Structure 1
Amino acid sequence: MARNNISISRQILWSTAGLVFTALLGSLIFANHLFNKNQEKHVARTFESVAQIIADRSLDFLNAENGELLDQDLKRLDSLPIIDQILIFKLNEYTNEETIFSRYKKQDETPSFTIDFAHIKSLTSTVFTSSIIEYAYPIELKGQLIGYIYMQGNINSYKLANRAVIITLTATTLAILLLSFIIAYFLIKKVKYPFSVISDSVITVAQQKNYKLTCPEQPYMEAQLLSNNINLLYERTDKVIKKHINAANQLKEQNTDLENKVTSRTDALKESNSELLSTLEQLHQYQEQLVENEKMASLGDLVAGVAHEVNTPIGLGVTASTLMIDKLEGLKNEFKSKTLKPSQLDRYIEESEENLQIIVRNLDRAANLISSFKQVAVDQSVEDEREFNMKQLIDDVFLTLTPKIKQHQYQLCLKCEESLFVRSKPSPLTQIFINLIINSFIHGFEHIDDAKISITIRPSDERLTVIYSDNGAGISEEMREKIFEPFSTTKRGEGGSGLGMHLVYNLVTQALKGTIQLDDNGNKGATFIIDFPIEILTKND
């Protein structure tokens, strides 16, 4: 928003006028006050002098008790306009009471007044009341008070004189104020002229954009200093503009060269990007294939391990059932030949009970193995959500991995509520636990005798936190930075693909929509913290 600029000439004019007016007004008030005081003093001295003269002249008339002659003598005061009335009082020498001895009235229209002797006695000096002047003077003879003279007058003539003085001073003030306006106007016009010339010069330079022009010489030192500074500004501005023009031309040339280089490099980059995109697509395909192969490889290991474990109880069951068949065939032959002894039948019954127990135990073990493997296999192939017990899922994973990890001595510390039922996809969870457990045995427990795996499950506010840790060899600082990257392994050339933890990361972040982080335990094993949203169901065992 543009500011409302104030004209310096108008400011000077009004400031000068205000200053002169204030000074004249103060002088006028002071002069009027001083004149009034002097007039009052003059009138008071005149009044008091006349009173003393009349008092002296009245002594003879008071002694002669001739008041009429005194009245005639007082009529000579008609020539004094300031005196309106005179009262001369005489004191009774016996009763000391006041009586009017003589009275003077200039005109009959002069208003009478109520005589108050107490008031008259208190007038020891001239008193101005409204338009009336009062004064009382004691008349003494040889130091003895014989009466009073009371004088009353008006100040109309005094007011007229005062008014004339005020009119004169006011006219003088207005004349001086007008003269100061005229002087200030011509002074401003004279002072303003060089600045107008400089302003016109600046406008001309701005319109023509010709900074080689200069401001003309000025008659005043201040204006000439401003003109010199503006000329210096013109000179520096011209240099800066030329410098900017040269820099702009150089920049334009550099931009042209740069555009040519960018165009050529952009074309080369497009070709490189096309090749890189093609390579990345192939890498993604290979990566997906390798991850799928890793899943199938882990599932194949499980199948081989479970098949081996199932063969053992089934073989024992077959052996025990074959033995029972052989024993039963011999018993039948002896029964047919009527040579069967009671002791033989008792021994057969005992052996049959033992073999049947062997068969039942091994068949139960095989059934459990097959059931756990079936559940894990189904969870890995089905992506639908279902309700399941979290602790049972972890137990099934360890039972399924028994063939692969049975040669290791380890301790499992599982902290999970027995009644924790959830709704989620069990397949990603199963695959995550399988990879973490196998990873611990392959990389962490290679030279560890007292292996220990700890799994803690913490449900809270529709989320589940899984803390998996082992006391293995730990993870090096170099490996920590790329633990979840594909093809990162410490078993390169020893069968390690480097896709296990990458698969875990993808399952947590994509399938479960959660997060996984490696906790810093130094070299004291490995700890993974997995957190993901899940629907927690309230069920009782």
Structure 2
Amino acid sequence: MSLSAARLSIKSIMIWLVIVVSGSAMLLSTLVTNYLQHAEVKEQLLQNVRSLADMVASNVRPIMAITPTDIDEEMNRSDQLANMLHGLDSFPDVLNAHIYSAPINGQTPQMLALYTRSTSTAAESKINDLARYFTARLDEDNQVIEIIRPINIEEQTLGYVYVRMSSESFFSYVSGTRMVQVATIVLIIIAAFLVALKYGQMLANPIQDTNLMLQKVARSRDYSLRFSASNVREYDHMLDSINILLSRVEEYISKQQQAERELQTLNSRLEEEVNQRTVALKSANNELIQTLEKLHQFQRQIVENEKMASLGDMVAGVAHEVNTPIGLGITASTMMLDRLAVIDQQFKDKTLKASAMERFINESRENLNIIYRNLDRAAQLISSFKQVAVDQTSEEAREVNVKQLIEETLMSMRPRLKKVTHTINIDCPETLNVMCKAGPLNQILINLIMNSLIHAFETVENGKIDVIARLTDDQKLKIIYKDNGSGIPTSIKKRIFDPFVTTKRGQGGSGLGMHLVFNLVTQALNGNIKLESEEGNGVEFTLTFPVTVKKP
């Protein structure tokens, strides 16, 4: 298997590394040197401008110290100042110079004299902007330096000198310096490239030779080849390691070939043994399949027996429950026949009185009401039992009202429930109609209730059972069954749905009740069941299975 071609080599990495490091170092050094040199030259230039301005101020100070008394003296002073400024011709970088009077009594300063080099243009008056140029200003756009210095005698300011000097020499120096440094950087990078190229080749050649040798080994599978020594110590270490690896691979292949020969011999013997044992295994598998089939039959039979036993208990209870209202109806009808015989005799003897007839009518109405109520109660019990019995013996889906189905299940268990003081609460919408298999759901509820009565409420006198039914958003029926009994012991909690798991072993418990519930939920109803329980804090079962919703 070959890897994708790499885009970098040791030679290129070495070249780029040297170029980047040397170029970066040179560039950083150049930038720092430029900054320091330019700052020093700039400061020197500004100092020269300040010195020149101070020199001019010192030269004109005697002239400015004499205050003219008339216009002739003032004209004479102006000429003297102008002649003084023309002496700046000996400074080739001076472009302009002005002399301004100091403001007296709030008056605006006046320009007393000016100087403009013949090769330069006149500078604007700075009368309204004197304070701005008290510090020398370098104008990079026009390449000039401007400064204004005061003309002082002791603590009195007589006027101001404005000097405007060219800074072309400074910028020419900066430009020339940059050109020299750029050329130096280029030369250094070229030299670094050549050095990196040479040493990169020295580093890459041994690796290329190693690569070619490894390719030869891979093609020929001749692991007896060995690498020769290199001039680089690290490469020598690597080649020694590769030689060791090749020797171990050669040794491993030799052992593997020997093992393959031994394995072929062993395989020939094993084939004979496998053929012999295959016949025996087939026979054992047939016996195992037959045993598993019998086991499944026995398990299904036990589950059916459990269902029929539950149905038998329900039949006995309903028969006892129905006997009571029928007995009351017979008693009431017997009393009514006796009273009818008496009335009949009085009627034949013509001794029947209106009061006796009225009393007979009232008693008959009362007895008929008793007969009707008890017969209606018996009819309801029989109807509920009939529906539950049909559901338990059938797994066909039918349209059911969920709340009515739960109530019918409780009605069929009434003989057992009225012997205890526990309460069962049903929380279900009246109009929740679905299409589902009523039989498995009925059996599930019976087993859960019986499990609570037998196990959870064994030491509880006034237990509480809640049955909550809701329709989920994904068209599934969710039934939550919970009680406040003793809960499920931790030792059997994880095995509660396994067959033959019970805490009543030897006391009549088969251990199939919860196993039957699990099978009915997961197989008959295609749903799932979840258990939450802590010992001493009751139990909660959550059943969820798909249904077809019927609109009310």
8 Å Cα contact 1:412-1:452 kept in structure 2:
yes
8 Å Cα contact 1:423-1:536 kept in structure 2:
yes
Give the Å deviation of 1:293: 1.4
8 Å Cα contact 1:211-1:235 kept in structure 2:
no
Which runs of structure 2 are paired with 1:231-242 in the superposition (5 Å)?
A: 237-238=246-247, 240-242=249-251
1:470 aligns with 2:479: no
* Matched AA of 1:314: I
Which runs of structure 2 are paired with 1:320-331 in the superposition (5 Å)?
A: 320-331=332-343
Give the Å deviation of 1:334: 3.2
Distance 1:524 1:212, change over 3 A: closer
Instruction: Point out the more displaced range, 233-242 or 468-477.
Output: 233-242
What number of residue pairs does the alignment pair up? 355
Instruction: Report the equivalent of 2:321.
Output: 309
Which runs of structure 2 are paired with 1:101-120 in the superposition (5 Å)?
A: none
8 Å Cα contact 2:395-2:437 kept in structure 1:
yes
Which runs of structure 2 are paired with 1:35-114 in the superposition (5 Å)?
A: none
* Matched AA of 1:379: D
Deviations, residues 442-492 of structure 1 (Å, cap 9, x unaligned): 211222111111011121221221110011121111221111112222222
* Matched AA of 2:463: A
SS at 1:350 equivalent:
helix
Give the Å deviation of 1:315: 1.2
State which of 424, 434, 440 in structure 2 corresponds to 1:422. 434
* Matched AA of 1:494: Q
Instruction: Report the equivalent of 2:372.
Output: 360
* Matched AA of 2:514: M
Instruction: Report the equivalent of 1:401.
Output: 413
Instruction: Report the equivalent of 1:374.
Output: 386
Deviations, residues 310-353 of structure 1 (Å, cap 9, x unaligned): 11111111121122212222332333233444454344333323
User: CA separation in 1, counterparts of 2:454 and 2:300?
Assistant: 23
Give the Å deviation of 1:306: 0.8
Distance 1:203 1:337, change over 3 A: closer
Distance 1:409 1:231, change over 3 A: closer
State which of 261, 280, 285 in structure 1 corresponds to 2:292. 280
8 Å Cα contact 1:409-1:451 kept in structure 2:
yes
Instruction: Report the equivalent of 1:158.
Output: none
User: CA separation in 2, counterparts of 1:391 and 1:205?
Assistant: 78
User: CA separation in 1, counterparts of 2:323 and 2:281?
Assistant: 61
Give the Å deviation of 1:528: 0.1
Instruction: Report the equivalent of 2:507.
Output: 494
8 Å Cα contact 2:223-2:250 kept in structure 1:
no
User: CA separation in 2, counterparts of 1:208 and 1:306?
Assistant: 89
1:296 aligns with 2:327: no
1:411 aligns with 2:423: yes
Give the Å deviation of 1:377: 2.0
1:519 aligns with 2:529: no
Q: Tell me how large the CA RMSD over aligned residues is.
A: 4.3
User: CA separation in 2, counterparts of 1:453 and 1:205?
Assistant: 77
User: CA separation in 2, counterparts of 1:208 and 1:513?
Assistant: 60
Deviations, residues 26-57 of structure 1 (Å, cap 9, x unaligned): xxxxxxxxxxxxxxxxxxxxxxxxxxxxxxxx
User: CA separation in 1, counterparts of 2:368 and 2:427?
Assistant: 38
Instruction: Report the equivalent of 1:82.
Output: none
Deviations, residues 387-431 of structure 1 (Å, cap 9, x unaligned): 222111111111111012210111122211122222222222212
Distance 1:333 1:252, change over 3 A: farther
User: CA separation in 1, counterparts of 2:237 and 2:439?
Assistant: 89
User: CA separation in 2, counterparts of 1:5 and 1:532?
Assistant: 62
* Matched AA of 1:432: I
Instruction: Report the equivalent of 1:249.
Output: 258
8 Å Cα contact 2:467-2:479 kept in structure 1:
yes
* Matched AA of 1:393: L
Instruction: Point out the more displaced range, 268-277 or 504-513.
Output: 268-277
Q: 5+ residue gaps in structure 2? A: 12-204
Which runs of structure 2 are paired with 1:115-514 in the superposition (5 Å)?
A: 209=222, 211=224, 222=231, 237-238=246-247, 240-250=249-259, 253=262, 257=266, 260=270, 263=274, 270-461=282-473, 462-514=475-527
Give the Å deviation of 1:301: 1.2
* Matched AA of 1:484: F
SS at 1:388 equivalent:
strand
Give the Å deviation of 1:359: 0.9
Instruction: Report the equivalent of 1:528.
Output: 541
8 Å Cα contact 2:223-2:249 kept in structure 1:
no
Distance 1:329 1:267, change over 3 A: same
Instruction: Report the equivalent of 2:23.
Output: none
8 Å Cα contact 1:521-1:527 kept in structure 2:
no
Give the % identical residues. Answer: 47
User: CA separation in 1, counterparts of 2:244 and 2:534?
Assistant: 72
SS at 1:450 equivalent:
coil
Deviations, residues 494-528 of structure 1 (Å, cap 9, x unaligned): 22222221121112112222110111334211110
Deviations, residues 290-309 of structure 1 (Å, cap 9, x unaligned): 11111111111111111111
CA radius of gyration, larger in:
1
Deviations, residues 89-124 of structure 1 (Å, cap 9, x unaligned): xxxxxxxxxxxxxxxxxxxxxxxxxxxxxxxxxxxx
Distance 1:213 1:325, change over 3 A: closer
User: CA separation in 1, counterparts of 2:238 and 2:382?
Assistant: 102
* Matched AA of 1:392: Q
Give TM-score scaled by structure 1 length: 0.56
8 Å Cα contact 1:387-1:424 kept in structure 2:
yes
Give the Å deviation of 1:287: 0.7
SS at 1:453 equivalent:
strand
User: CA separation in 1, counterparts of 2:541 and 2:352?
Assistant: 69
Q: 5+ residue gaps in structure 1? A: 9-191
User: CA separation in 2, counterparts of 1:231 and 1:408?
Assistant: 89
* Matched AA of 1:450: N
Distance 1:484 1:3, change over 3 A: closer
Distance 1:257 1:308, change over 3 A: farther
Give TM-score scaled by structure 2 length: 0.55
Distance 1:511 1:345, change over 3 A: same
SS at 2:506 equivalent:
coil
